[in-house]
A and B are shown apart, each in its own frame.
Chain A
Amino acid sequence: MKIKAQMAMVLNLDKCLGCHTCSIPCKNVWTNRAGAEYIWFNNVETKPGIGYPKKWEDQDLRKGGWQLKDNRLSLKAGGRIDKLVNIFYNSDLSTIDDYYEPWTYDYGKLASSPARRHQPSIRPVSQITGENMDIKWGSNWEDDLAGVTETGGGDVNFRGLAHETYLQFKKVFMFYLPRLCEHCLNPACVASCPSGALYKRDEDGIVLVDQERCRGWRYCVSGCPYKKVYFNWKTGRSEKCLFCYPRTESGQTTLCAHSCVGRIRYVGVMLYDADRISEAASVEDEKGLYPRQTDLFLDPNAPDVIDAARTQGIPEPYLEAARRSPVYRMAVDWKIAFPLHPEFRTLPMVWYVPPLSPLASLADADSPETIIDRMRIPLTYLANLLTAGDVEPIRLALERLMALRSYMRANRLGDVQDDETLHRLGMTPEIADAMYNLLAVAKYRDRFVVPTTHRETEVEPHEFQGACGFS
C-alpha cells in the first residue's frame, strides 16, 4: 500500500445557479494576460450542450484520455513512438475556433463619436489580429440552452436517449456544469507530455505544467479529455488550472470555491492507495470505473491507514484534514458525489453531486416509475455524465437527496418521520442531519478543509517574492 494525499473538490450541482462568479476571480488572477484571453481555467457550461471547446466530451473526435486496448491501458491518441513520429503536427489538437477567438472593443470610439442621430456602436475586434471579426463561439455560448436545438445532437450524454425528444419545449431540461481541471489520479496530460513538463505534486496531487520545461509540443492539450490544458498562443506554452496552490499551501481554498455564491463547492483531502491506480483505471467494464475509484480511497479514520500514512511520511496536517474531509463524506460515506466521465479512465478528482429537478409528469399509480424517474433531467443523462451510464448509483444519490428533503420538511413541520425510507436508503437521522449541515448551512471552515504546507522549508521565500510562474 503506497499512500498518497490528494486535493479534491466536490461541486453540488443541485445548488449551482449558473452565475459564472467562480470564473471571474480565476480569470482575473490567472489568465488575464496576452495569449491567455481565451483561457478559462474555470468555466460554467449549460447542459445539455457541446461545451467549450466544442464537443470536448466526444473522445471519438478529440482522442483525449485513456483506452483499454488488448487489455492494456494506453493513451487514446497513441503511444510514445506514435507521438514522437507525429510531433511536427498534432492531428488531434483542437484549434482556437473550437474555443473562441478572443476579442475586445475600441471603446474610445464611443466617447469620441460626434453627436449623431443614433447611438454610436462599435464592432468586436480580434485580440489576435486586431481586425474586425464576427463572434461565433465562446466559453458560455450555450448559456441557458442558447442554440441547443442546433448543437444538442452533438452532446454525447444523450447516448441511449432520443435527444430530439428532450430538445422539445415540453420536455426540455437543463442544469449547469462548472468545470475545472480534475487533477486526476491517472492524468492523461502528464502521460502525454514528451518533455515531462507536466507533473503531479507528490504531496497533494495537484497537476502542474512546469513553465520552464514546456517546449510546446502540445500533446497535453489534446491528451486531456476534459480539455483543461490550454495552449497559450502567444508564448507557445501550455497552461492549466493550478488548484490555486499558492492559496491552498497557506490553508486557503481555491478562488473559484471561495467566490462561489451558491456555496456549492467543497474542497478537501483524500488519502488513496497509489499502488492500485493502474488496476483501478483498467477495469474492463466502464461502469466499474466509478466504484473502483471509490475503492482506492482510504478511510482516514482507520488506525492502520493512519499508521501507514505516518510511516510513509504524510504530514500530520494532511492526516488531520483528511479526517475532516467534506469530499470523503460526500463521495465515500454518503455516495452522493460522482466523478465526471469516469470512462475517460483518468480517475478525476473533481466530483459532482447530481442535481434534482422538477417533476415532468404526474404520478401514475399503475406505473413502476418512482419520483426519481419522473424528474425532468433524465437519469440516463446524468449517468452518462457521471457514472459511465450506470443509473443505479445516481438513482440512489437522488433518492437520498429527496429523503433528506422529506426528513427536513418533517422536522420543520413536526410531521411524522418516514424512518422506513431513511432506513431503506441506508440513512439514519444522524446521517441526515450531517448531510443537511454540510449541504445546506456549512461555513467556510467545514466546506474547505485545506491543510497548510510549510513551503518555507522548501524554498527561500524571499527569492520567490514577486515571481510568477506565467509570463
Chain B
Amino acid sequence: MMNTFAFVIYPYLALTAFVVGHIYRYRTDRLTWNAKSSQFLETGALPVGIILFHYGVILALLGHAGGLLIPQRIYDAMGISGHSHTLVAYYAGLLVGNPAFIGILLLLYRRVARTRIRATTTMNDFTTLALLFLTVGAGLYNVLFGHYEVLYTVAPWLRGILTLTPAPELMRNVPPTYKIHILSAFTLIGFAPFSRLIHIWSAPVGYLFRRLVVFRRRTVRA
C-alpha cells in the first residue's frame, strides 16, 4: 500500500502539479517568472557555486534522460552491455554529481550566512535549495556508495510511470537511499512550478536566432 502510494500515486500527483502548475502560473503570474538572480546583492561564493551547480545539474538531468528513459535492450542492440552502461553511469555520475553537490553547498552557505542574501531569501527559495540538496545529495550518495543495479528496476519503473503503465512492484526491493532520491525528486517536480525553478523553461535559446535590436510596432485595434 505504502509502496503503491509512494511510487504510483505520489509521482502522478507531482507530475499533475508540474503540468497544471506551470500552465496556471504562466497564465496568471508572468511578472514573477524569472531567475530571481541575487548576483546584484552579493557575489562572494556565487560565481563558483552557481556555475558548478548549473552545469552539474543540467548535465545530470541529461544523463538521467539518456540512461533511464532509453531501455537497456536498445543499448544492448547497440552493443553496449548493462555492465558497461553502469560503468559509464558511475563515472558520469561522479563527474557531474560532485560539482552539482558542491555548488548547492556553496549556494546554501550564502543563503544562510550572508546577511543581504539571507534577508532577501524567501521560504520558497530555501525550500527549493533544500529539496535540491536532498535530491542531489542522495543521488551522489548512491553513485558513491549505492552500487545497486537500477537498469532493470528503477529504470523500467520510471518508464512505466511515463508511459502510464505503472509497475510499483519493481521498486519494492530498492534500497532506501534510492527511494529518498526518487521521492525528493518528485517532490521537486511538483514544487517546481511554484518556485523560481520556472526559469528553466525560459532558457533563452531564441537569442541565437533573432536580430539584435528589437523594434516593436503598435498594433492598432480593429
**A positions within 8 Å CB-CB of B:** 75, 80-81, 83-84, 87-91, 93, 95-96, 128-131, 186-187, 190-191, 193-196, 198-203, 211-218, 221, 231, 233-237, 277, 457-460, 471
Contacts and interface: CB of A to CB of B under 8 A. Distances in A.
B25 interface: no
Contacts of A236: 32, 34-37
Contacts of B214: 190, 193, 196, 198-200
Interface in B171-222: 199, 202, 204-208, 210, 212-221
A199 B216 contact: yes
B204 A217 contact: yes
B204 A191 contact: no
Interface in B20-52: 30-43, 46-47, 50-51
A389 B120 CA distance: 44
Nearest to B214: A199
B215 A202 contact: yes
Contacts of B212: 75, 190-191
Contact of A202 (B39, B42, B204, B216): B216
A234 B120 contact: yes
B85 interface: no
Contact of B40 (A130, A212, A218): A218
Contacts of A80: 207-208
A13 B55 CA distance: 50
Task: Classify chain B: how many residues form its interface, as a range.
Answer: 35 or more
A75 B207 CA distance: 14
Interface of B: 30-43, 46-47, 50-51, 54, 115-116, 118-120, 199, 202, 204-208, 210, 212-221
A200 B91 CA distance: 49
25 contacts: A83-B207, A84-B208, A87-B204, A88-B50, A89-B47, A89-B50, A93-B39, A130-B119, A131-B115, A186-B213, A191-B213, A194-B207, A195-B206, A199-B214, A200-B213, A201-B215, A202-B216, A202-B217, A212-B30, A212-B33, A215-B202, A216-B34, A218-B40, A459-B221, A460-B221
Contact of B218 (A202, A211, A471): A202
A237 B34 contact: yes
Nearest to B204: A194
A444 B186 CA distance: 63
Contacts of B215: 199-202
